[in-house]
Amino acid sequence: MAPRRSGGGSSSSYSSYSSNNPWSQEIEFSLDMLRSKTLFIAGFAFDVLTIIALIGFLVWTCLIHNGRGQLKGVLWALLAYLVSMITILVYEILFFANATVQMYYVIDLMLNEFFGLAAGCLIFFVFYHLIHSILNRLTDAGKPYAVVAIVHWVILGLVSVVSLATFGLYVGFQVQNVQNYYYSPIAKQYNNLEAARAIIWWILSLEIVAWFIFIVVKAGSHRFASKFPIFTLLGGSIAWMALNLAYAVIYIRFSLENVIQPNYLACLQSVLQFFFIVGTFVGILLACMKWRSVDDREDKNVAAQYPYPPGQYQTYQAYQQQNPTQMRAPYAPQYYQQQPHETYPEPVPHHTHQPEQQRAEN
């Protein structure tokens, strides 16, 4: 989900205006013009914590062995989210510096929008890739879940198209804002599409949680070295779903219904983003670190190895009750009988033969 964007219209002022080039128009930033300094500083602090956490996740990712391809897309998702957070941090620093800048600063907000949407799409890609890897592990050939992979990639393609359309409308909205449009026809379209995108992302993240719940139940009949990675992925998907749910509620409440945002909302978004995005990447990276216990090719289905489920072997008492005649039948004494191949020739006595001449003399 795209990081929080602070609106510059209510917290900045114009210092000059050029009719020839509206992009050269200067705008002043100051903390004194904010509706609440305390909430802005608190939100800024949580944005800094989010950046520090993302840098730590980047280092952690580089230390994880990617021998089985479980980290596919994780590094790019982290980089995209980190860049999006840095762009919003630059925007917030302008208020602390009491800076006077030209309208080109909105390019920073455009980059924030682009990398935030890209990071969200990449996180969906990471979750889908891990889901497909585990589903293929739950079957011998992986064919029953091949359709799931195709559907997921089609959905991800459509989500990417919607995200690009959202970014395009956002760029158009900012351009009209720079050109001092008193009424922007794109603004309403952008708000509606952004709200629709947020709802779609929440529904897809909820579907990811459902898949991991299914995997946890399905993995009960398989002999994994450890189920810890599956549970961490479930926790990470719940955090990702909660973040998307929060943004969906915010967009529905304040964008679709055209309600003025309260002072605390920007700070609340930063706080929720910190906890939920940290939970998302912690769940993903813990699973990738312990991926060997899930994707061990020597593991087989328990049902394929053993004919009986655990705890359902026939007991000795049950065998006695089912076969009373055989249990009461006397056993005849058995003696060992020599087998034909064990018959050896009897020893022949050795006789000493005397010469004929000596026998005649005697």
pLDDT single digits (tens) 163-220 = 999 999 999 999 988 887 666 778 889 999 999 999 999 999 999 999 999 988 887 6
Instruction: Report CA torsion sign: 249, 253, 254, 257.
Output: positive
Using an 8 Å Cβ cutoff, are 64 and 289 in contact? yes
Using an 8 Å Cβ cutoff, are 255 and 199 in contact? no
The Cα–Cα gap between 191 and 193 comes to: 6
**How many residues in total does the chain contain?**
362
> In this structure, which amino acid lies at residue 136?
N
Q: How large is the average pLDDT for residues 95-109?
A: 94
pLDDT at 358: 47
The Cα–Cα gap between 272 and 298 comes to: 41
**C-alpha gyration radius of the chain:** 37
pLDDT at 290: 84
For 172, residues 6+ apart whose C-beta sits below 8 A from its C-beta are: 186, 190
The Cα–Cα gap between 96 and 112 comes to: 19
Residue found by looking up tokens 């961490």 in the block: 232
The Cα–Cα gap between 307 and 325 comes to: 27
What mean pLDDT, rounded, does the chain reach? 81
Domains and CATH numbers, the chain: 12-305 (1.20.1070)
* 164-173, long-range: CB < 8 A, 24+ apart: 164/117, 165/193, 166/113, 166/117, 166/190, 166/193, 166/194, 166/197, 167/110, 167/113, 167/114, 167/117, 169/193, 169/194, 170/110, 170/113, 170/194, 171/110, 171/113
Residue 198 has which token pair?
């947020």
Closest CA to 131 of 2, 222, 219, 242: 219
Instruction: Flag whether pLDDT at 86 surpasses 80.
Output: yes
pTM for this model (two decimals): 0.76
Q: How large is the average pLDDT for residues 319-333?
A: 58
The Cα–Cα gap between 281 and 354 comes to: 104
- pLDDT more than 90, % of the chain: 52
Residue 148 has which token pair?
């799931």
Using an 8 Å Cβ cutoff, are 232 and 243 in contact? no
Closest CA to 271 of 45, 74, 114, 25: 45
Least confident of 52-61, 311-320, 335-344: 335-344
Q: How large is the average pLDDT for residues 276-282?
A: 97
CA angle 1, 55, 244 (to 5 degrees): 15
Using an 8 Å Cβ cutoff, are 85 and 108 in contact? no
Dihedral over alpha carbons 38, 43, 46, 52 (to 10 degrees): -110
